[in-house]
Structure formats: structure tokens, C-alpha cells
Structure 1
Amino acid sequence: MTIIIGILALVFIALTVIVIGKTQDLLKGVQGKAEQEEDHHLDSSNDWNAIGLFVFWIVCVIGTVWSFLDARKDFLPEASSIHGRETDFWFWVSMSVIMVAFFIVNSLLFYFPIKYKFKAGQKATFYPHNNKLEVIWTVIPAIVMAGLVFSGLRVWNKIMDDAPEDAEVIEIMGRQFAWEVRYPGVDDNKLGDYDYRLIDDAKSNSFGIDFSDPNSFDDFTSATEIHIPKGKPVLLKIRARDVLHSVFIPHMRVKMDAVPGMPTKFWFEADKSTEDMRKELNNPDFNYEIACTEICGRGHFSMRLLLIVDELDDYEAWKKEQTPFLSMNPDFIEKVPDNLKARALKYIESDNSEAMVEVIEVTEESAE
């Protein structure tokens, strides 16, 4: 019996060893099959993800191109000023460079998931550094960006430089919520001085015109429209009465902030009159305008001013038809120094003005 039990024990041990061995083999087989199935599942998922990403990129490209072409009808027409066309040129150069780089980089970014997606048995190459590539993708963008920056700076410096000596000087002032314009008269073609302490809305002196300066005597103002000549440089002297405003002439590519207490300026040359633009756009109702692009209060939306670009001869004729501020507001003769009253009275429409001038001139001569 003991022998039989021993033999059975040995058989049991042998069978146990065999079963364990077979189980291990079976487990290995199941695991290998699971890994194969998992690898196949991963390959399939990676394929679909990579393809989906690339399709998404293609749809984005098509949508971007379509939206650009569809929106072109709403773009501003060709600039009506010399510096405006130069500004537009460099704007589109910058946009072209940026868009080319954008499409190349993103096309590669969406292509790489297809090219380098997970594959069973494939190992990634260890590639930590390449000096040549570092130099290439650092130097080339630096050169391109420097070129864009310096070309833009050249245009900006030219715009912000001193205006030509023959420029037409016009003062524009922003206030809540309107624009007012002051021109030099035809007699001296020079703007007179101003002093903010002389501002008096009750007496219509919203500019604070200083009548101790004889150049102010023939200046005239407007609050309904602004005229500028075609083909002649125009220097805008910009002021603000209360809060920040911003002079914006979209068709001229003119934009400059009006800052309280800090006069600014912008000079440009319009080379398309209002009539020229009406013919070019085939729109008889077209008008240039000046808008405020700095939110300045509740009435900001209404802060617009009609801009009329005249042929040079028409502009000069229009100026001669305007009435000096002093002529429309003769009470300001009191602000004129005694030694300048004779000159100022020439602009006062009065039956007795000539006699008053003669009396003042005699008085001045006697005083001398």
C-alpha cells in the first residue's frame, strides 16, 4: 500500500508539473494573442486619428481661403494717399510671409501624425540636437523679421517726420462728441496761436484762439466738414478738449490719437479727390469721412466728420469764400492788443470800420 501511495504521489506530482507547464504555455499564447489584437487595434485607431487630423487641416485651409475670397468685397479700396499705398504694400508683404510660414508649419504638423504614427516593432530614432538646424531656423526667421521691421520703420519714420515746407496746415480738435476744424486764412496762410485758457464756448471760441497773434485774424473754422487739397501735402495738427479721441481716415490710411494736453500730428498727401473716388467706385454718393476710433463716451458712435478732397484750384477758391472767425465774432476785437487793432479791424464788417481804422492808425502814429 505504501508503494502504491508513493507511486500515486509521484504521478500526482508529475501531472501537477505538466499542468503548470501547460498553463504557462497557454497563458503565454493568450497574452501574445491579446497583444497582437491590441497592437492591431492601436494601428487602426492611429490610422483613423492621423487621417482625421489631416482631413481637419484640409477643411481648415479650404475654409480659410474661401473666407478670405468671400470677404474681399468688403475690403477698403486702394488707398487714396501716397503713403497709404506704401503702407498697404508692406502690410500684404508681411501677411504673405506669415501665411506661407503658417501653412508650411501646420501642413507638416498635421502630416507627421500619418508619417510617424505608432507601428508595432518600430522604434523612434534618438535625435536630440542638430547645430545646423538650430542655426537655420534661427537665422532665417531673424533675417526675415528684421527686414519686415526695418521696412515698416522706414515708412513710419517718413510719415512721422516733419511735413514738407509747402504743406497745408490744418488744425483738427476732438471734443465730446464732435470734430472742429481751423484753417489758416488766405492772407497769411499761417495758423494763429491758441491758449486753452482762452477757450470760451459761450462766446464760440472753442479753440481758444489767441487774438494777440495777428496770424489769428484771418483764421476760419468749421464744425460740419473738412476740405483738403488733392496733390498737396496736408499737415493735421491734432488736439483733444476733454478725453482721448482718435483721428481716423480709413481711405487715406490715416490714424492718430488726439490726446488732451499733448498735441499730435500726422501729415499725408491725398492723390484722389472725392470726385475721382466716385468715378473709380462707380458710386456717386461716395464720401470720405473722419471717424473717431477711440471710445470716448456714449456719443462716440456719432463722432464723424465729412471730408472733401478738392482739386487744388477748387480748394483755393473755396478758402477765399470762407469768412474769418473774427469777422463772424466781432466782439473779439476787444481781445486784440491796441497796437494790432488797426490790422484786426480790416476783418470786422462794419459801416464804420474804415473810419475806426483811420482813427486807430492816427492814434498809433501819435503815440510813436
Structure 2
Amino acid sequence: MTMFLTIAVIVLIFVVIFQIAKASEYVAVLKGAETSRKQNNKINGFLMLAFLVLGLIGVWYCNKELYGKTLLPHGSASVEGERVDSMLWVTLALTGLVFILTQVLLFWFAYKYQEKENRKAHFFPHSNTLELIWTIIPAVTLTILVVIGLRNWFLFTGEPPKNAMVVEVTGRQFNWMYRYPGKDGTFGKKYFRNIDDANNNPLGLLWDDAMGHDDVVAQTMYLVKGRPVKLIIGSRDVVHDVGLPQFRMKMDAVPGTPTTLWFTPKYTTKEMREITGNPNFVYELSCDQMCGNGHYSMKGSIEVVDQEEFDVWMAKQKSAYLTAFPDKDPANAKPAADSTKTAAVKTEATAVKSTAKM
């Protein structure tokens, strides 16, 4: 109902404007083109001024109503993401100042320097000074912003601290998979031709590589608060994009070309629920690259916990190798005591049968 009323109001506004334009044409015919043009010129001057005032009020109102629905009020959830927030605020401040200044001058000049009887236009063909000012100042400003951005980019994509944990993130239409190295701290080898969803090998791991027998593949990414994490990102089909809005990070997932980034989580998931006031808050990993008809549903979940909680979670995980070969899982083997007992029962049964025959 609200949408219908909004559309109706917009259509009505256009109809009113159209009718006013038609009425102006009729007035021009009746009064004469010259008199009508002068009156319209005054009206347009005042409309420009009114549009300026209403436009600035609209900008302020939209910011007041919608700012709280953005991610900005809560700040970055990662230490490195604070740099991104700083760049964003500086950029908004500079572009916002330029926007307000230029728009005020544009509409004020349209009103102040409207056509009048005794006013003549001043012919101003060129000024080297002005050309230099509006060329050099924007160029220097943009160069500074680009240099700051490149420094931050090289930091995010460079080598993380030595205590960083490593998680491999692989995208596929339309979900994410996360792989953790086992106790050896090394990922096993994989090959795309070995991908076999039917036999529990969605990443194409090479089972003859012993280094990968303890690798863990999970459907939810678990990270540790205060501990840097390096993401090794890839894709097994089309180009995806790892979007981490709360951490202010983003990186393409390209088939056959691993990309990396790293960051340090600042808050656990529980803490973020208190900070945001949302009891259902979950860190999100979204796909920020159009990747097919199911792109909208390609979301992953991230849980940020303390180190102790992470260790408990990791201890409960079963390696991808044992998932693919459950018969080699020691947990599925029968206890030795049971085997001995069974053998004893069989021996006793055989002895009873032999005695019966005698």
C-alpha cells in the first residue's frame, strides 16, 4: 500500500509539472513571448533557490534517518579495517565539502545572476590561474588519497604476523567452504580434477598426500579474537568475491589464481551482539561479485570466539580424510576388549560343540 501511494504521488507530481508547463505556454501566447519569458525567468530563479534549500534539507534528513542502518555507527570489527574507516571518513569529508560548496554556488548564482534589464553579461574567456587551481588541487588531493589507499592495500595483502592462523576459503556456486590445516600446520595438496562431491571430496584433495590427512573442512568459519588470520582465497568454478563487511575487507576469488588478505578480529560474535543490540547478529561472508542466478543466496557465516573456545571446536572436528574414509577412523573401530571377548565366546562355543559330538 505504501509503495502504491509513493508511485501515485510521483506520478501526480509529474502531471502537475506538465500542466504548469502547458499553462505557461498559453500565458506566453496571451501576454506575449517577451513578457512571459521575463516572468518565467524570475520564477525559475526563485525555484532554483527553493530547490537548493529543500535539497540540502533532504540530504540532512536522509543522513539522520538512514545513518543508523549502515555499518558505520559500530566501526570496524577488525584492527586493520579501522584504516578503511579512516579513509572513508576522510573521503566523505572532502567530497562532502566540495559537493555542498559547488551546489550552493551553482543554485545561488542561478538566482543571483538571473537576467535583468540593466545587467550585461561579462565575457570571461580564460584564466591560467583558475585552470591551475582547479587542476592542481584536485590532482594533489586524489594522489594523497591513492597513496594512502595503496599503503593500506599492501598491508592487507602482504605477509601477516608470525602468529597468524591460516584459513583457506573456496567459493563455488553458491556457497563457501573453509579448510584448516591440522596439527602439522600444513595444507595437503589438491587438484581440481580430483573434485568429487559424491565421495566427500569437494576441494579435490589428494588422499595420497599424508600432509592433508589432518586437514579440516568446515561449513562455518571460526576465528579467534585478537589473533591475526590469513585467508587464502580461491574458486572452483567462476569468479566470486569474498566480502567481509563488518571487517571492512574484500578480495576476489579467482579460479586457479589464489589471492590472500589478512586481518585481526577485534570482537567476538557475542560481544558484537551486545554492541549492535542485535541478539541474532552473525558475522557475514558475502559474495560481492555477480556469479550466477543464485548469487543472492551465496552467504557464509563466521564465528569469532576466544582461543579456548576455538581449541574446543577444533578438537571436535573430523578431518576431511576420515570423513571420506570412515573405515579408517579409529573412532569407528571396535574396541580390542570386545574383540577378545568375541573370540573367547567363539572358542567356548566351539568347545561345547566338540563335547556334544563326543
Does structure 1 retain, via aligned residues, the 8 Å contact 2:78–2:266? yes
Matched, 1:197 2:193: yes
Q: Give the partner amino acid of 1:192.
A: G
SS in structure 1 at match of 2:272: helix
Q: Give the partner amino acid of 1:190.
A: T
| C-alpha spacing 1:39/1:301, structure 2 compared with 1 (3 Å) | closer
- Partner in structure 2 of residue 319 of structure 1: 314
| C-alpha spacing 1:203/1:348, structure 2 compared with 1 (3 Å) | farther
- Equivalences for 1:28-39 in 2 at 5 Å? none
Does structure 2 retain, via aligned residues, the 8 Å contact 1:327–1:349? no
Unaligned runs of 5+ in 2: 1-31, 337-358
Does structure 1 retain, via aligned residues, the 8 Å contact 2:222–2:304? yes
- Counterpart of 1:267 (choices 239, 243, 262) is 262
SS in structure 2 at match of 1:215: helix
- Counterpart of 1:251 (choices 233, 236, 246) is 246
SS in structure 2 at match of 1:139: helix
- Equivalences for 1:1-368 in 2 at 5 Å? 43-76=38-71, 77-185=74-182, 187-223=183-219, 225-330=220-325, 350=333
CA distance in 2: counterparts of 1:173 and 1:278, whole angstroms = 27
Between Structure 1 and Structure 2, whose CA radius of gyration is higher?
1
CA distance in 1: counterparts of 2:270 and 2:224, whole angstroms = 12
Deviations 1:31-54 (A, max 9, x none): xxxxxx987765544332211111
Unaligned runs of 5+ in 1: 1-36, 334-344, 354-368
Deviations 1:159-201 (A, max 9, x none): 121233322111121112221111111x212222211122222
Deviation at 1:233, TM superposition (A): 1.1
Does structure 1 retain, via aligned residues, the 8 Å contact 2:217–2:319? yes
CA distance in 2: counterparts of 1:176 and 1:137, whole angstroms = 47
CA distance in 1: counterparts of 2:327 and 2:212, whole angstroms = 11
CA distance in 2: counterparts of 1:256 and 1:229, whole angstroms = 20
Percent identity between matched residues is: 35
What's the C-alpha RMSD, in Å, of the aligned pairs? Answer: 2.4
Q: Give the partner amino acid of 1:89.
A: S
TM, length-normalised to structure 1: 0.75
CA distance in 2: counterparts of 1:272 and 1:306, whole angstroms = 15
- Partner in structure 1 of residue 13 of structure 2: none
SS in structure 2 at match of 1:82: coil
Deviations 1:245-266 (A, max 9, x none): 2222221122222222222222
Number of aligned residues:
303
Does structure 2 retain, via aligned residues, the 8 Å contact 1:231–1:312? no
| C-alpha spacing 1:332/1:57, structure 2 compared with 1 (3 Å) | farther
